[in-house]
Structure 1
């Protein structure tokens, strides 16, 4: 079954491909180092509120390829995904297809890099399954505490690796998307001067406050504000996709919503047949499944040209007999037929393979294995526990009166119902779960974050923009201690560095490197 409620976990952070990950690595002084994909294990506390429960093995990857004594320790987690394969974030060398901002920091600042796996993802599991009982220990605060405990206690497998704890060496925390938010949250808890409400006061407090856990941090596309009804996900897509395509998508969705709420069985069945999904029982499942074509936007990057899946979709709607539609599109009649043809002949197989529509896209059968599988290394389940309890981010149709690219038949109760199916011991249909986003935003400051030496990087075209400091209407003021740099990138575009990078994204990266260099230069040992 396809995930009916994709969130940031469904299109994970861009993964650099390390073509020589299993080969030897040579440091600056010519020393042969372990391959990037060498897996290490840290004894992490199962429960930071009850250390007597003992520890579990938390996986991490590490290199000191660029390290020189006095350089920073750069810690990164890809967040809500199995971290195996993300070892490309350790480096910035020619051996990678895509080099990284982490590696650039290390190369320029003489740093050592770490990729750590988030608890309850991959094979870093405090308990042997993903039952509701186990997932009580899957919280944002436990993940923050993991980072603290790791930084303070890890013995890095490098010369002098026992003498680089915070206070003895400067640490940089890096994250993107959810892990970008986790970066902000961690800085709020362990670095910032709490109860500081005005930026002018932050400047003063920074010079007198005690040293924090991390000297500096870089948060890419950080979804700092938790939101239940996150219809804003589709706003950057609507604003930046081809205008003719957005016009026709809006027209088709309006027609489908009108038809599906009309009670006209003949017309409803005609639309279902056009998309070859007559066996899909529920109309909200049908209309909601068309979000998949819009979700493809998240996988775009500035260097992706024609041929990306999202643009194939728009071409299918807007190119007729070799002619492209004008800015107003072709209109609902043609676009509906074209969308149905593209979905039936090309897209459905990519999405569902050989599964029928009910098994792939239906969300009303609580016995499906998608809801009941509690085995480890099930990223959707681990992430949805956080979604259903702490962050929300349900991607729905826009409010009435606002243009919408997706159906208004899917609203938060549609997605909250699926929390009940996945975690019936915690939630019930009679009291649908409403994630406690107010508690999360209060605990970690959300859009109101004020932390010292925390760099935010964003992209105008990022569908997660409206949950970041770059959201429309936040009017966030960038400062020297908490800069906000915005390029024309997509989701976490700035985490990768390459020759073909968008120049506006390159400007963000260049600014970050300059700022980070100054912050690391100002570090003083405290231990």
Structure 2
């Protein structure tokens, strides 16, 4: 059962390109000590090309690059393991809260181990090449990154602990990861069992999936019922308005969300469907849990207008709900739509974009900076996109919520 579509066919590519299956960086609470102040970064030199017999990596190279890692040995006692959190498709500094007080800190404390956050090649500062052209990105594969993981365990020398042999298999290594990095952890254990004693694969993605509409099904099935009901109905309202394509009504809808200058309807649909994606960033550990999904659900399921400035737009919201085919429920949906508009405007509106909205959210312009800038600084736009376009897929169109 697949319910509402939110321009499913039109937005399949745009939604995937901007979101795909990646967790958002953990956001520190105000009381937190910035973990970058606690854990300095270190580098280990690893081969750029581990597979000289594979033609897809030609032309081959014997050069090496600096792979960044962070570690905490404050819990270590001889005999303890090395617990390596693979940072996956993100800058490794975004995973440092897990070293500070999350799962890595807990495991290291419980086992007298060393906690490590290891960066994935082509993210953060760990670049094998000088730019991110398609030719340069040929070394960005899960296979090469897994070989980096193995090389790290065999060759690392932790600063200040040079007198100890803390390499595998002399010391038990355990790899941890979530989502893509969770699949990565499972692959590490499967391919390098002599180096990695164990693996913890959290929500591990172990299969390439092209059309991944099922991504949203757990949210529909297990999310807060009031939130999912409101989400389903509001998205259906938006779907119906966009599908009818009455220019005046569409413009009124975009204006309500603070996105009136956004040119393309599927870019608009991409943004307004983003709130429910915060589900992935929840965590069983309160110390590193993201509250974004709860904030979003609290907004759209509230019976009150939570943003005072939007109270004056009640008649507009009601007319949009009627235009979207849910006029018989304006009494219950109006405040939900107003809160959804306000929440989205606050997160993605003009104030959050340094320039015209199209410069931030347009997926149509092939000459946009996000596509044409091949510098290392643009890894957030290019590295993961290259991985899911060449290896993994995970194009997330809407399912039923």
| Pair 1:190–1:280, CA change in 2 (3 A) | same
Query: When you count helix as a share of all residues, which structure comes out higher?
Result: 2
Shift of 1:131: 1.5
Partner of residue 33, structure 2 = 19
- Give yes or no for the alignment of 1:350 onto 2:347: yes
Alignment of 1:322-401 (within 5 A): 333-334=330-331, 337-338=334-335, 340-354=337-351, 355=353, 356-377=356-377, 378-398=379-399
**C-alpha offsets along residues 383-442 of structure 1, whole Å, 9 cap, x if unaligned?**
1111111111122122xxxxx22xxxxxxxxxxxxxxxxxxxxxxxxxxxxxxxxxxxxx
In the alignment, does 2:135 pair up with 1:133?
A: yes
Match of 2:20 in 1: 7
Does residue 178 in structure 1 map to residue 187 in structure 2?
no
Do the aligned residues in 2 keep the contact of 1:260 with 1:268 (CA within 8 Å)? yes
Deviation of 1:344 (Å): 4.4
1:76-95 counterparts in 2 under 5 A? Answer: 76-84=85-93, 86-90=95-99
Q: TM-score, normalised by structure 1?
A: 0.60
SS at match of 2:177: strand
Alpha-carbon offset, residue 375 of structure 1? 1.9
SS in structure 1 of the partner of residue 92 of structure 2 = coil
Q: CA deviation at 1:341?
A: 3.0
* TM superposition shift of 1:140: 0.4
Task: Go from structure 1 to structure 2 and tell me whether the alpha carbon gap of 1:108 and 1:137 turns closer, same or farther (over 3 Å shift).
Answer: same
In 2: Cα distance, 1:299 partner to 1:259 partner: 30
Q: Deviations over 1:8-58 (max 9, x none)?
A: 4351367799628577xxxxxxxxxxxx41222111111112485211111
Q: Which runs of 5+ in 1 are unaligned?
A: 24-35, 91-95, 192-211, 324-328, 399-403, 406-527
Q: Spell out, residue by residue over 1:133-187, the C-alpha distance to the aligned partner (whole angstroms, 9 max, x if none).
A: 1111100000000011111122232445552322322111122221111011111
Paired residue secondary structure (1:261):
helix
Deviations 1:215-261 (A, max 9, x none): 11112221222212222222222223332332232223223323333
Matched, 1:286 2:268: yes
1:291 CA drift (Å):
1.1
Alignment of 1:71 onto 2:98:
no
Partner residue in 2 for 1:208? none
Question: In 2, are the aligned partners of 1:230 and 1:393 still within 8 Å (CA)?
Answer: yes
Which residue of 231, 256, 259 maps to 1:249?
231
Distance 1:319 1:128, change over 3 A: same
CA distance, structure 1, for counterparts of residue 365 and residue 255 of structure 2: 22
Distance 1:270 1:163, change over 3 A: closer
2:196 is aligned with 1:214: yes
Structure 1 residue corresponding to 2:168, chosen from 166, 174, 182: 166
1:108-119 equivalent positions in 2, closer than 5 A: 108-119=110-121
Change (3 A) 1:265 1:139: same
Distance 2:224 2:169 in 1: 50
Q: Does 1:299 align with 2:281?
A: yes
Q: Which of 36, 39, 44 is matched with 1:37 structurally?
A: 39
Over 3 Å counting, the alpha-carbon distance change for 1:105 and 1:331 in structure 2 is farther
Does residue 147 (structure 1) correspond to residue 149 (structure 2)? The answer is: yes
Instruction: Name the SS of the counterpart of 2:363 in structure 1.
Output: coil
Conserved 8 A contact 2:26-2:95:
no
2:191 to 166, 189, 205: 189
After superposition, the CA RMSD in angstroms is 3.3
Structure 2: runs of 5+ lacking an equivalent? 1-13, 53-59, 307-325
Report the CA distance shift for 1:258/1:148 in structure 2 as closer, same or farther (over 3 A). same
2 CA distance for matches of 1:381 and 1:289?
19
Alignment partners' CA distance in 1, 2:179 and 2:213: 17
SS of match in other structure, 2:175? strand
> What's 2:219 paired with?
237
C-alpha separation in 1, matches of 2:364 and 2:336: 25
Contact kept in structure 2, 1:318 and 1:335, CA below 8 Å: no
With a CA cutoff of 8 Å and minimum separation of 6, indicate the structure with the bigger relative contact order.
2
Secondary structure of 2:221 counterpart? helix
